[in-house]
Amino acid sequence: MTTKVAIINYGTGNIRSLYNSLKKIEVEAEIIVDPESIYKFDKVFLPGVGSYKDAMDMIKKKGWERPIKTFSSNKNKSLFGICVGMQILSTFGYEYGKSNGLDIIKGNVERLDKQGCDLKLPHIGWNNIKILNKNLLTENLVDDSNFYFVNSYSFKLINSNEIIASTTYGMEFPSIINKKNVFGTQFHPEKSSKAGIQILKNFINA
């Protein structure tokens, strides 16, 4: 049976580059704007660019909050948040004030310099990951693989066992997370060359 793949378009996120990267691995993803259509799919990407607050405002305004949460609670489905799309899986975010997140993975998103980072923000460019826990998302990846980041905030998880890989930029922060059937990367796999393509393949093929 063919795996049905979708990319959520809620008004923020780098949809086209993700769509093109999936096409390179012969995955025809559908870009969806109707929240109720999410249930037809097996694997769904939740991208995000910009601020946590703006992303959550758009999610709520366009009626995505309940469908995303319901979809993620189905163990036969899989959700993958990218960058801000990963951050809004959290309970709260503190970008431009405190905002409620989707509360799918327990934790908060806070600015890196509030957590001890003394380097220039945003953190932009290539950086490596340290794999901490074996996971389907890191299959066929070597430790210290490089990925493309753009972030000033990071996810502080309540349960450290849900951290699959970390990255260091003035401090260590989670760069890959996983709770059951929900995955997230702080980096952009769609902009991360061969290693990023491998992550996308792993998610689709799992």
Per residue in 144-187, pLDDT tens?
A: 999 999 999 999 999 999 999 999 999 999 999 999 999 999 99
- Diameter over CA atoms, the chain: 50
* Contact (CB, 8 A) for 47 and 53: no
pTM over cut 0.95: yes
Question: Which pLDDT value is given to residue 187?
Answer: 98
Q: What is the CA radius of gyration of the chain?
A: 15
Which helix H or strand E contains 197, and what residues bound it?
A: helix 193-205
Report d(CA 121, CA 192) in Å as an integer.
Answer: 20
Q: Examine the pLDDT at 14 and tell me if it is beyond 80.
A: no
Question: Which pLDDT value is given to residue 12?
Answer: 79
Report d(CA 84, CA 87) in Å as an integer.
Answer: 5
- Calculate what percentage of the chain has a pLDDT beyond 90: 95
Question: Which pLDDT value is given to residue 140?
Answer: 96
- Rounded to the nearest 5 degrees, what angle is found at the Cα of 75, between the Cα atoms of 72 and 78? 55
Q: Just list the catalytic residues.
A: 83, 188, 190
Mean predicted confidence (pLDDT) in 111-133: 98
Question: Which pLDDT value is given to residue 109?
Answer: 98
* Contact (CB, 8 A) for 109 and 155: yes
Q: Examine the pLDDT at 1 and tell me if it is beyond 90.
A: no
Mean predicted confidence (pLDDT) in 68-83: 98
Compute the mean pLDDT over every residue in the chain, rounded to the nearest whole number.
Answer: 97
The residue ranking higher by pLDDT, 206 or 104, is: 104
Please give the domain boundaries of the chain with CATH numbers for all domains.
5-205 (3.40.50.880)
Report d(CA 113, CA 154) in Å as an integer.
Answer: 10
Name which of 7-16, 57-66, 104-113, 181-190 the model is least confident about: 7-16
Region of 17 on the Ramachandran plot (φ > 0 left; ψ -120 to 50 alpha; else beta): alpha
Report d(CA 178, CA 181) in Å as an integer.
Answer: 7
Which residue's structure tokens are 């990218």?
Answer: 82
Mean predicted confidence (pLDDT) in 128-148: 96
- Coil/strand/helix, residue 37: helix
* Contact (CB, 8 A) for 111 and 79: no
CB-based contacts of 96: which residues, under 8 Å, 6+ apart? 51, 52, 53, 54
Question: Which pLDDT value is given to residue 39?
Answer: 98
